[in-house]
Structure 1
Amino acid sequence: MYQQFFGFLNNLAHGDLGTSYTFRTPVWDMISARMPITVSLTLVAMVIALLIGIPTGVLAARRAGRWQDRVVTVGSTLGLATPNFVLGLLLTLVIGLKFQLLPATGYVEMSEGFWPWLSHLLLPGFALGVVAAAEIARQLRASLADVLRQDYVRTAVAKGMLPGTVVWKHGLKNALMPVVTVIGIQTGYLLGGTAVIETIFGIQGLGDFAVRAVLSGDLPAIQGMVVFAVIITVTASLVVDMTYGYLNPRGESQ
């Protein structure tokens, strides 16, 4: 057993994850071929999450205790409570099949055109991005509401600076640290956890590959996906730590 373990580590150091039992292909070749698809889906999902989460979080923080804050709170709670596969099925049935506004399944390479590529990723990206958007909005609301109560914010407003300028120029940067943590965690989760959504929308990315590996008992493929997920998670954590230094330079000197 120890010979197998150290043999696996030696092969891993040379980029060899073994050969898939099912596909009879090197696992790394399978991962590298499907990686651009999952990365594209993750990118679209995170852009959607940021476009929804940041404005709603800022709105809730600026209107803390008012009806806008309550609406955002209820909406984010519903977003966190709704499984992404349920939302994905609803989007497929309503938007993709009934109204046929966007493609319900499949994936198109960007080389065939930006809109065909994006249109195939909007529905699965939205299904994945809603949970991330809800968590971003909640974290940003709590952090920004605390920042807006600081003395330097009151001073800036007292000097005549517009409240919107104070929020976006001064308050938001100081409130982004917990949001960056959420973004890093969600990015790692999306890259390693798109299995159900890719299966629903017929996208042959890493998630679909992981499902096939598990169902067929393909041990080298399963090990390769686990190693890949670990690498992505560690990399996302490293990027988050580096971003902390930019958002809070005083933390580095301490």
Structure 2
Amino acid sequence: MNQEKLKKIINITKKLNVLYLEDNIDVREQTLKMLNLFFDNILVGVNGNEGLSIFKEKNKYESSSLDLIITDIEMPEIDGISMINKIREIDKKIPILIFSAHSRTDYFLKTIDAGIVGYVLKPYNAEQISNSLMNLIEKEDLSSLNEHVLPLENGFVWNDEENALFKNEEIIKLTKSEIKLFKLFSNSKGSLKTYEEIESYVFDDLTSNSKRVRNLMSRLKTKLGYELFESIYGHGYKLNFKND
């Protein structure tokens, strides 16, 4: 995995609240070293019963609720599959990854029935973990959990912390004016901006010439191969966010 893609993953995962469950102390410590590369907020449990208790406690408060669960299957007191089934009675949507040494078909079928989104076989390394997280981010749209990452139409993503536009995990080179354009619209999601507002912010002068704005939008449309900024005739433009 290239460094740009890895940076994108970490930029999203660092702000997620994660519960990690593993009863084997050696495996747990080694895995935590790798998980700490991706996550700043990790809660740790050693069995399914403890994991269920942590989940229920965190589930009470939206501000500290969990975004992801990573768990082993075979654990004391309550095994991973039983714990997941109990969690699914409360929360049908929270993403769950399984890290396990078991590759038998019956285990895979049980985890599918339990609604897990990924299965990573032991022994694993940081590359395998990063790949599983990338798949998870794409499947579950976890980028929306990061306040700096704004999903746009047609698979484009704007990161207002890095002032960067992405498509299919690749960064798109923008001019200074184009960057300022995205910054203006990202600060007020979905709202219409007049020609005058765009001119004032992007070009930073008092000249009134809406043709500059139209030319900027036209060049950007050609570059992207898609019209992200919708023209509202006689008024201005709006940026099309995903699902708007």
- TM-score calculated relative to the size of structure 1: 0.27
Q: Which has the higher contact order (CA 8 A, sep 6+)?
A: 1
Give the structure with the larger strand fraction. Answer: 2
TM-score w.r.t. length of structure 2? 0.28
